[in-house]
């Protein structure tokens, strides 16, 4: 069995995540951390509100340091139809994981997460265009933004792109 000492050694399913500040109030959770067990934070209410599930972990270098970082995507479930994505970019510093960036999306068709990924060392964030939403579920277009790590934060590169959503079927 191979031992990892980098970001792949972190068990993201059993981790405490800092609450995303701007979304804390909107997501109805005053706690300063979100703790997962087996990739889940159990619902807070009988209606299922507050359930958070870990959806995806991607390993890619978005800091241009030659080491992998982790892009972790979770979904916050409202207990109704609304759900928002929470995205964290993790890196290793002094053999400890640290959050470099976090983001809370809108609800599905209204600014919800389309995709997040690394490309050519940059962080690419795609969200559904709320001006092209088709009901709550989806959008005919998405907005792509490219970010580059400057050593202390991610800075947007160039202008945002508005692109047709190939997943949308009329």
Domain borders along the chain are 7-164
**Distance in angstroms (rounded) separating the CA atoms of residues 145 and 160:** 5
Res 105: pLDDT: 92
**Residue-level pLDDT at 61:** 98
E strand or H helix that includes residue 116: strand 113-119
Q: What is the pLDDT of residue 34?
A: 85
Residues facing 101 on adjacent strands = 89
pLDDT per residue, tens digit, the chain (170 aa), is 344 679 999 999 999 998 876 544 444 544 568 889 999 998 877 777 788 999 999 999 999 999 999 999 999 888 788 889 999 999 999 999 999 999 999 888 889 999 999 999 999 999 999 999 988 888 999 999 999 999 999 999 999 999 999 988 77
Closest CA to 87 of 104, 109, 69, 70: 104
Q: Tell me how far apart the alpha carbons of residues 35 and 143 are, in angstroms, rounded to a whole number.
A: 30
Residues in Cβ contact with 64 at an 8 Å cutoff, skipping those fewer than 6 apart: 121, 148, 149
């Amino acid at each position: 069995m191979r031992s990892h000492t980098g970001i792949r050694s972190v068990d993201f399913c059993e981790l405490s995540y800092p609450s995303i500040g701007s979304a804390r109030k909107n997501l109805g959770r005053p706690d300063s951390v979100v703790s997962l067990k087996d990739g889940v934070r159990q619902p807070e209410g009988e209606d299922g509100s507050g359930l958070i599930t870990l959806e995806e972990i991607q390993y890619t270098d978005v800091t241009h340091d030659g080491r992998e970082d982790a892009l972790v995507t979770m979904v916050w479930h409202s207990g109704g139809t609304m759900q928002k994505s929470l995205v964290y970019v993790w890196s290793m510093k002094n053999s400890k994981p640290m959050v470099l960036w976090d983001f809370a999306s809108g609800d599905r068709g209204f600014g919800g997460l389309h995709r997040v990924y690394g490309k050519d060392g940059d962080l690419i964030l795609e969200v559904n265009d709320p001006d092209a939403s088709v009901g709550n579920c989806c959008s005919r277009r998405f907005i792509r933004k490219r970010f580059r790590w400057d050593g202390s934060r991610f800075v947007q590169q160039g202008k945002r792109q508005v692109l047709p959503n190939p997943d949308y079927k009329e």
